[in-house]
A and B are shown apart, each in its own frame.
Chain A
Amino acid sequence: MLELVNLTKRYGDVVAVDRVSLKVEQGEFFCLLGSSGCGKTTVLRLIAGFEKRTDGRILLDGRDLADDPPHRRDVNTVFQSYALFPHLTVYENIAYGLRVRKTARNEIEGRVGDALALVGMTGLERRFPDQLSGGQQQRVALARALVNRPRILLLDEPLSALDMKIAEQTRLELAALQRQVGITFIYVTHNQTEALALADRIAVMHNGVIEQCGTPGEIYDHPKTRFVADFIGSMNFFDGCVASVSDRDCQLRLWDRWDVVVDKPVALAAGNPVLFCLRPEQLKLSLLPPRDFENGIPGTLRRTVYQGDATLYLLELRNGRIVTVSQNNYLARLSRDFFDLGDEYQIIWSRSSGETIRV
C-alpha cells in the first residue's frame, strides 16, 4: 500500500504540491486528474524519486522512501515521451532493468518474451525504437516497466501522444492489462474521459491541492467543489441560498428569484449561500409546468448545437443567464419533441437531481 502524508514540493516561492495526502491500495488503478500545471506530474515524479520532496512522507508499506534515489525504489515509470533508449533494440530496452539487476540470462529471455507477448509485440524484438509507430513505442515503454514486476507502476500521460482512435483502443487494453498483472497503477492524465473509463479511484488536483478523491461515479455525480464540478463533464451553475431545510429535503432560492426543492438535506442553516449544479443531461425542455416531483424554471431558446447523438439547447433565463440542456436525439425523435428558437419553454429536472455545493 502506498501512502502520501502531507507531501509538499516547493520551487522557491512556488508551491507545486501542497500537503497532498492520499492512500493507494494494492492492485488499485488510481488516477491523478488535473489540467497542466496542477502538480499531478510533480506528485508522480516525487514518488519515482526524480524530485526531492520539500516536506511530508512517501510510505510504501509503511516505510518512508522519500530519501531513496530513484534506482533504489521498487517503482517503475512509463514516461510521457516513452524515453526509449534510441541506441538499443526493443529487446535490449525491455531487458535493461533485468540486466542492471544481474538477472540470469535465461530468465531474462523468458521474462522479456512474456512481457512482449503481454503487450502484443512478439516478433519485433530486433527493431529499434525509431522503426516503431507511436502506439508500438508506447507498448515497448509499458513492457520495459512491467518486466521488472514493480510494486507500483507510474504512468505519465501515456496515451496523450497517440491518435484518438489508437488511444481509445490502447485505453481498453491498458485496463485489461492492469487487471491481468494486478500491479498498482498510478496514472496521471489531464483527460477526464480516460480517468473516468480507467480508474478505480480518481484524485482531482488543482493548484497543487487534491480537490476531491473518489470513484469515477462519486466524482461525476457528487462533485464537492466548484472546480471539480466544472472540470469533469459540463455543468450548469446556479447561485443561490438555502431557503429552508428539513430532515428529508431542502428548499433553495436561485438567483433570488426561483424556488426549487432538492430531495436531499444540506448541512447548512437557512440563509447560507450555495452553488447549485445541474448537468445538461439531467434537464429536459417542456411546454408543461413541472409536476410534483419536479422543478422547473422558464427560459427562452436561443441556440441549438447539433452533436450527432444529442442536441444541446441553450436557453436564456429571464435574468440573462444561459442554461444548457442536452437531449438525446434518438429519444427526442421517438417522442416527436421539436423546439423552436425564440419560444419560451420550461426547463425541467427531477427533485432528486442536482448537487448543492457550499460556498
Chain B
Amino acid sequence: MCSRWPASEKQLLLLPPGLWLFFFFVLPLAIVIFFSLCPQDIHGGVLPGFTLEHYRRIADPLYVGIFVQSLKVAAITTMFTLLLAYPTAYCMAFSPKRTKMLLMFLVILPFGTNFLVRMYSFVNILGADGVINTVLLRLGIIHEPLDLIYNMLAVYIGFVYGNLPYMILPIFAALDRMDVSLLEASMDLGAGPVRTFCRITLPYSMPGVAAGIVFVFIPTLGNFVVPEILGGADDILIGNVISRQFLSSRNWPFGSALSATLVFGLMILITMYIRFCDPMGKKRLAAM
C-alpha cells in the first residue's frame, strides 16, 4: 500500500467514482425499487401508495419459467463462448509479437460497428434467402432452405458472436502475462503438454476466465435485443418481458419489480460465485 497519502486524502480520491455511482446506479435503483412498491395507474403511470402485488405476480409459474429459461440461455451462451474464446486467446497469447497485434486488432475490429447493425446483419446471413442458404441451395446440397433464423439457434449464435471479444480479451490478458519458463519448468519436471496445460496454464488463466464469465453471463441475462431480432415469437427472455412492461404494456411498477428481482438475483449469484468458486484466488492469500 502507498503510505504517502493520508487516509483522508485517499478517501477524497474515491469521491468522483462514488458520486458517479450514487447518481447513476444507487439513485436509479432506488427509484426502480420505489416504483416496484407502488400501485399501477391503469393509464400507464405510477400511483402513490404501497403494495407487494407486483412481487406476488412474479411468483407466477409463467414468470418463474422465463427467469429459469433466461438463466439457462445465459449459462449455455457463456459455456459456448468460453469454449470458442479459450483456444483463440491461447493462440493469440503464444503468437509472435506481430501476429499477436494483428489478431488483437481483428478481435477488437467488430466494436467499430454498432451492435444492432451487426445483429441485423445476421438476418442476411442466416435468413431463408441469406448467404448460407443461398450457397447451400446453389450447390445442390439442400433443396429447401434450412430454418436457421427466428429460433433459439439463431439467438445462441447472436449471443456467442456478440460476446466473444469480452471473453477473449480477459483470457488473453491473463495468458499473455504468463512467463513461458513456467511451461518449460513444468515440462522439465516431467509433465507432458496435456498435464502442463491442466495444472499450470489453466489455473494460471483462471482470473481471466472468471472475469470473462462475469462479462458474458450478466449482459446476456438482461439482453432483449438479440432475441427480439433473431429469435422466434416464443423465444422470450426476461429482458424482453421487462422491456415490454415499460414500452408496450405500460406497467412500470411490474417492470420495476422484475428489474429489481433480476438485479438482486444477480448480486446473490455473483457473491456466491466469488465466495465458493474463488475465481480471484483470494483464499490462497488468506492462507498466509
Q: Which residues of A contact B (CB under 8 A)?
A: 48-50, 69-71, 75-77, 79, 81, 83-87, 89, 96-97, 100-101, 126-128, 131, 144-145, 148
The one of A71, A77, A84, A87 that contacts B203, using a Cβ cutoff of 8 Å: A87
| Complex interface residues of chain B between 90 and 138 (CB less than 8 A to chain A) | none
CB-based contact B181/A96 at 8 Å: no
Chain B residues, CB < 8 A from A97: 189-190
CB-based contact A77/B281 at 8 Å: no
Residue B234 CB within 8 A of the other chain:
no
Q: Measured between C-beta atoms, what is the minimum distance from A110 to chain B in Å?
A: 18
CA distance in complex: A347, B267 (Å): 85
Residue B187 CB within 8 A of the other chain:
yes
**B206, closest chain A residue (CB):** A87
CB-based contact B184/A83 at 8 Å: yes
Residue B186 CB within 8 A of the other chain:
yes
Chain A residues, CB < 8 A from B191: 71, 96, 100
CB-based contact B190/A71 at 8 Å: yes
CA distance in complex: A148, B204 (Å): 24
**B200, closest chain A residue (CB):** A85
Chain A residues, CB < 8 A from B203: 87
CB-based contact A148/B185 at 8 Å: no
Residue B179 CB within 8 A of the other chain:
yes
CA distance in complex: A71, B287 (Å): 31
Chain B residues, CB < 8 A from A100: 189-191, 195
| Complex interface residues of chain B between 145 and 202 (CB less than 8 A to chain A) | 179, 181-182, 184-192, 195, 199-200
CA distance in complex: A75, B200 (Å): 20
The one of A76, A81, A148 that contacts B181, using a Cβ cutoff of 8 Å: A81
Q: Which residues of B contact A (CB under 8 A)?
A: 179, 181-182, 184-192, 195, 199-200, 203-204, 281, 284, 287-288
Chain A residues, CB < 8 A from B284: 87, 89, 128
The one of B179, B189, B192, B287 that contacts A96, using a Cβ cutoff of 8 Å: B189
26 contacts between A and B (CB under 8 A): A48-B184, A50-B187, A69-B192, A70-B184, A70-B188, A71-B191, A71-B192, A76-B188, A76-B189, A77-B184, A79-B181, A79-B185, A81-B179, A83-B181, A83-B184, A85-B185, A87-B203, A87-B284, A89-B284, A96-B191, A100-B190, A100-B191, A101-B190, A131-B288, A144-B189, A148-B189
CB-based contact B186/A96 at 8 Å: yes
CA distance in complex: A192, B149 (Å): 72
CA distance in complex: A297, B284 (Å): 70
Q: Measured between C-beta atoms, what is the minimum distance from A299 to chain B in Å?
A: 51
CB-based contact A71/B188 at 8 Å: yes
Closest 9 CB pairs of A and B: A97-B189, A83-B185, A83-B181, A70-B187, A100-B190, A100-B191, A71-B187, A77-B188, A87-B203
The one of A69, A84, A87, A89 that contacts B187, using a Cβ cutoff of 8 Å: A69
Q: Measured between C-beta atoms, what is the minimum distance from B134 to chain A in Å?
A: 47
- Other than the given A69-B192, A77-B184, A97-B189, 10 more pairs (CB < 8 A) read A48-B184, A71-B188, A71-B191, A81-B181, A87-B204, A96-B186, A96-B191, A128-B287, A144-B185, A145-B188
CA distance in complex: A244, B185 (Å): 58
Chain A residues, CB < 8 A from B182: 83, 85-86
Q: Measured between C-beta atoms, what is the minimum distance from A186 to chain B in Å?
A: 14
CA distance in complex: A89, B203 (Å): 13
**B192, closest chain A residue (CB):** A71
CA distance in complex: A288, B236 (Å): 107
Q: Measured between C-beta atoms, what is the minimum distance from B28 to chain A in Å?
A: 39
Chain B residues, CB < 8 A from A70: 184, 187-188
Chain B residues, CB < 8 A from A79: 181, 184-185
Q: Measured between C-beta atoms, what is the minimum distance from B70 to chain A in Å?
A: 34
CA distance in complex: A127, B192 (Å): 26
Chain B residues, CB < 8 A from A71: 187-192
Chain B residues, CB < 8 A from A148: 189-190
Chain A residues, CB < 8 A from B288: 127, 131
The one of B179, B195, B287 that contacts A83, using a Cβ cutoff of 8 Å: B179
The one of B190, B192, B281 that contacts A87, using a Cβ cutoff of 8 Å: B281
CA distance in complex: A79, B204 (Å): 19
Chain A residues, CB < 8 A from B192: 69, 71
Q: Measured between C-beta atoms, what is the minimum distance from A344 to chain B in Å?
A: 57
Q: Measured between C-beta atoms, what is the minimum distance from B277 to chain A in Å?
A: 15
Q: Measured between C-beta atoms, what is the minimum distance from B168 to chain A in Å?
A: 22
The one of B188, B200, B204, B287 that contacts A48, using a Cβ cutoff of 8 Å: B188
**B188, closest chain A residue (CB):** A77
**B204, closest chain A residue (CB):** A87
Chain A residues, CB < 8 A from B190: 71, 97, 100-101, 148
**B195, closest chain A residue (CB):** A100
Chain B residues, CB < 8 A from A144: 185, 189
**B202, closest chain A residue (CB):** A87
CA distance in complex: A341, B181 (Å): 54
CA distance in complex: A83, B184 (Å): 9
Chain B residues, CB < 8 A from A69: 187, 192
- Max chain A Cβ within 10 angstroms of own Cβ: one of B184, B281, B288: B184
Q: Measured between C-beta atoms, what is the minimum distance from A351 to chain B in Å?
A: 52
CA distance in complex: A70, B192 (Å): 9
Chain A residues, CB < 8 A from B195: 100
- Max chain A Cβ within 10 angstroms of own Cβ: one of B181, B187, B190: B190
CB-based contact B184/A50 at 8 Å: yes
Q: Measured between C-beta atoms, what is the minimum distance from A198 to chain B in Å?
A: 22
**B196, closest chain A residue (CB):** A71
Q: Measured between C-beta atoms, what is the minimum distance from B96 to chain A in Å?
A: 13
Q: Measured between C-beta atoms, what is the minimum distance from A73 to chain B in Å?
A: 8
CA distance in complex: A87, B273 (Å): 19
- Max chain A Cβ within 10 angstroms of own Cβ: one of B182, B185, B200, B203: B185
